[in-house]
C-alpha cells in the first residue's frame, strides 16, 4: 500500500503493509538521519543536494524478491496448469522442460547480490548521482582490469562502453537461454498437435511444419555456433566505440562535393581472442548452416540462391572479412577483423585496424562498467553536416533549405550546445558497489 501526507512544509510518501507500520520519529538523533546508515552521505553535505534515497538491505531484499520473480514463477504455474489439462495429451515432456527453465533461472539468480542502497543526487556542473550499494546481477567481473579503457580517451570518440563479463554468469545465461528456446519449441509442437480448427491456425501449422522438417537442424547449428563456439572463443572484455570519422560512400544522386566533405559514423565492438581455432570453427558451422538454408529456400522457391563467398584483406597479421557490395569503401564496410589477439566487428575496416593498433599498446586500465556519450562531439558533427547540406541543398533536394527548416535545426543545435557529456561508471570500491553518473552541462 502507498500512503502520502504532509508534515509541515514536507510531503511524505510511504510504502508499506499498513499505515500502522509508518513510524515518524521527531527526534533526529534517534531517527534514521542520526544513524550510521546514512554515513555514506556525509561527504556530500557541502554539495547542492537535489535528492537523497536510502533503502536498508532487508527492505531491498523484500523489494527484489517481490518484483524479481522472473520467469521461474510463471513456468512453475504453467507446469502445474498443464499437468492438470487434458486437451494437450501427454505433457510430461513439457513439464520436464518447465522444470529445467525454473532450475536454470534459479542458478542464474544465485549470481545476484543485494546490499543496502544509498543514493545522493546533487547539482555540480550539471547533475551528479552517486550510488552506494544496491543490487548486483552478477553479470560483470569487477576484479578483472579493463585493458581496453584507453580506447575511449580519444577526443574524437562520441560514444564508448567498456566492461568485463563474468565468465561463469555468461555460461549460466547461455544455458538459461537455451532452455527457453527448447521449451518454446516444444510448446509450439504441442500446440500444433491440438485439434483447433481455423484457416489461420492451419496456415500456422503448415508454416511450422515447414520449419520443423526443413530448417530445424540449421537453426540448432546456428545457435550452437553463435551461443557456444563464438561466445566461448572471445575473452570477457568488450569495448564499443563510435566516432564520426568515416569517409562517406559514393551514393548515386549525391553530389561529389558532399561525398568528399561529409563524414559518417563508424561503430565497432572489439574483444580479445581467447581461442582462435574455436572462433574459426564457429564461422565454419555458421557458413555450413547458412549455405544449407539458402539451398533449401532455393528448392522451395524454384530459384537457386547461392551462398555469397566473403572476401578478405590482410594487414599486420589481421584479416578483415566482408561480403562485397556496391558503394562499399574502407570506412563503410560491415566486416569482422580477426587476428591472434583481437576480434573486431565493425562498420569500418579502417576503424577496426585503428582500434587493434591502439589496443595493442598499453594504456591506463579501467574497472567495472564505463559508458559515456560526448555531446560536444555530436554537436560538432551535427553542425558540420548541417553546413554541408545547407551549402549543397539545391543539388541534393532541388531547392535550398527553407527558413522554417533552418529555424528548427538551429533550435536543436542551440539545445545541444547546453550539454557537455553523460558519463556512467560502476565499480567495486573496498567491496562496496559504487555507481557514479554525471550529466554534465556547459
User: In which residue are the cell numbers 560502476 written?
Assistant: 426
Domain-located, residue 110: no
pLDDT tens digits, 145-156: 999 999 999 889
Question: Which residues partner with 431 through β-bridges?
Answer: none
Q: What is the DSSP string of 363-423?
A: ---B-SEEEEEEHHHHHHHHHHHHHHHHHTHHHHHSSPPPHHHHHHHHHHHHHHTTEEEEE
State whether 173 and 161 are in the same domain: no
State whether 197 and 223 are in the same domain: yes
Domain-located, residue 393: yes
Domain boundary among 234, 257, 282: 234
How far is the C-alpha of 294 from the C-alpha of 286, rounded, in Å? 12
Query: Whole-model pTM?
Result: 0.89
How far is the C-alpha of 264 from the C-alpha of 253, rounded, in Å? 17
Nearest C-alpha neighbor of 39 from the set 113, 115, 121, 132: 132
State whether 413 and 393 are in the same domain: yes
Contact residues for 314 (Cβ-Cβ < 8 A; gap 6+): 320
State whether 227 and 249 are in the same domain: no
Domain boundary among 211, 234, 257: 234
How far is the C-alpha of 374 from the C-alpha of 242, rounded, in Å? 10
Contact of 149 with 370, CB cutoff 8 Å: yes
Domain around 220: 88-104+167-234
User: In which residue are the cell numbers 547540406 written?
Assistant: 389
State whether 247 and 294 are in the same domain: yes
State whether 185 and 97 are in the same domain: yes
How far is the C-alpha of 282 from the C-alpha of 264, rounded, in Å? 31
State whether 375 and 438 are in the same domain: yes
* C-alpha distances in Å from residue 13, one per residue of 21, 22, 82, 130: 13, 10, 42, 23
State whether 220 and 337 are in the same domain: no
Domain-located, residue 109: no
Domain-located, residue 71: no
State whether 280 and 218 are in the same domain: no
Domain-located, residue 128: no
How far is the C-alpha of 219 from the C-alpha of 205, rounded, in Å? 18
Domain-located, residue 14: no
Domain-located, residue 257: yes
State whether 248 and 218 are in the same domain: no
State whether 305 and 339 are in the same domain: yes
Give the count of domains, the chain. 2
What string of pLDDT tens digits covers the 442 residues of the chain? Answer: 788 888 788 888 887 778 887 877 777 777 777 788 899 999 999 999 999 999 888 877 877 776 655 666 676 666 666 666 655 667 778 888 888 998 999 999 999 999 999 999 999 999 999 999 999 999 999 999 999 999 999 889 999 999 999 999 999 999 999 999 999 999 899 888 888 889 898 999 999 999 999 999 999 999 999 988 999 999 999 999 999 999 999 999 899 999 999 999 999 999 999 999 999 999 999 999 999 998 888 888 888 878 788 999 999 999 999 998 888 999 999 999 999 999 999 999 999 999 999 999 988 999 999 999 999 999 999 999 999 999 999 999 899 999 999 999 999 999 999 999 999 999 999 999 999 999 999 9
pLDDT tens digits, 220-270: 999 999 988 999 999 999 999 999 999 999 999 899 999 999 999 999 999
Domain boundary among 204, 234, 264: 234
State whether 364 and 398 are in the same domain: yes
Domain-located, residue 72: no
Amino acid at each position: 500500500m502507498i500512503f502520502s501526507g504532509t508534515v509541515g512544509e514536507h510531503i511524505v510518501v510511504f510504502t508499506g503493509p499498513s499505515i500502522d507500520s509508518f513510524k515518524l520519529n521527531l527526534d533526529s538523533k534517534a531517527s534514521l538521519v542520526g544513524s550510521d546508515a546514512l554515513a555514506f552521505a556525509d561527504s556530500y553535505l557541502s554539495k547542492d543536494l537535489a535528492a537523497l534515497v536510502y533503502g536498508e538491505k532487508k527492505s531491498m531484499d523484500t523489494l527484489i524478491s517481490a518484483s524479481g520473480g522472473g520467469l521461474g514463477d510463471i513456468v512453475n504455474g504453467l507446469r502445474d496448469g498443464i499437468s492438470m489439462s487434458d486437451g494437450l495429451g501427454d505433457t510430461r515432456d513439457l513439464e520436464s522442460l518447465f522444470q529445467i527453465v525454473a532450475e536454470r533461472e534459479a542458478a542464474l539468480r544465485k549470481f545476484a547480490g543485494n546490499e543496502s542502497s544509498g543514493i545522493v543526487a546533487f547539482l555540480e556542473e550539471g547533475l551528479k548521482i552517486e550510488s552506494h550499494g544496491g543490487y548486483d546481477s552478477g553479470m560483470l567481473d569487477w576484479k578483472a582490469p579493463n585493458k581496453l579503457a584507453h580506447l575511449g580517451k580519444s577526443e574524437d570518440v562520441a560514444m564508448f562502453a567498456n566492461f568485463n563479463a563474468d565468465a561463469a554468469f555468461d555460461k549460466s545465461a547461455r544455458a538459461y537461454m537455451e532452455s527457453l528456446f527448447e521449451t518454446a519449441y516444444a510448446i509450439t509442437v504441442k500446440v500444433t498437435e491440438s485439434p483447433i480448427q481455423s484457416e489461420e491456425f492451419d496456415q500456422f501449422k503448415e508454416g511450422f511444419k515447414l520449419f520443423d522438417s526443413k530448417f530445424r537442424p540449421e537453426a540448432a547449428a546456428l545457435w550452437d555456433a553463435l551461443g557456444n563456439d563464438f561466445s566461448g572463443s572471445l575473452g570477457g572484455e568488450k569495448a564499443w566505440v563510435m566516432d564520426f570519422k568515416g569517409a562517406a560512400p559514393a551514393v548515386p544522386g549525391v553530389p561529389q562535393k558532399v561525398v568528399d566533405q561529409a563524414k559518417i559514423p563508424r561503430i565497432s565492438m572489439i574483444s580479445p581472442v581467447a581461442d582462435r581455432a574455436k572462433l574459426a570453427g564457429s564461422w565454419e558451422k555458421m557458413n555450413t548452416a547458412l549455405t544449407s538454408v539458402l539451398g533449401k529456400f532455393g528448392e522451395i522457391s524454384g530459384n537457386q540462391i547461392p551462398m555469397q563467398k566473403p572476401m578478405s584483406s590482410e594487414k599486420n597479421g589481421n584479416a578483415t572479412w566482408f561480403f562485397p557490395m556496391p558503394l562499399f569503401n574502407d570506412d563503410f564496410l560491415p566486416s569482422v577483423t580477426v587476428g591472434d589477439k583481437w576480434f573486431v566487428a565493425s562498420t569500418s575496416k579502417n576503424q577496426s585496424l585503428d582500434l587493434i593498433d591502439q589496443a595493442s599498446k598499453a594504456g591506463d586500465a579501467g574497472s567495472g562498467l564505463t559508458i559515456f556519450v560526448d555531446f560536444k562531439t555530436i554537436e560538432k558533427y551535427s553542425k558540420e553536416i548541417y553546413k554541408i547540406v545547407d551549402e549543397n541543398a539545391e543539388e541534393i533536394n532541388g531547392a535550398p533549405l527553407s527558413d522554417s527548416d533552418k529555424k528548427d535545426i538551429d533550435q536543436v543545435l542551440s539545445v545541444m550546445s547546453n550539454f557537455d557529456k553523460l558519463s556512467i561508471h560502476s565499480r567495486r570500491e573496498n567491496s562496496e558497489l559504487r555507481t557514479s553518473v554525471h550529466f554534465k552541462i556547459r
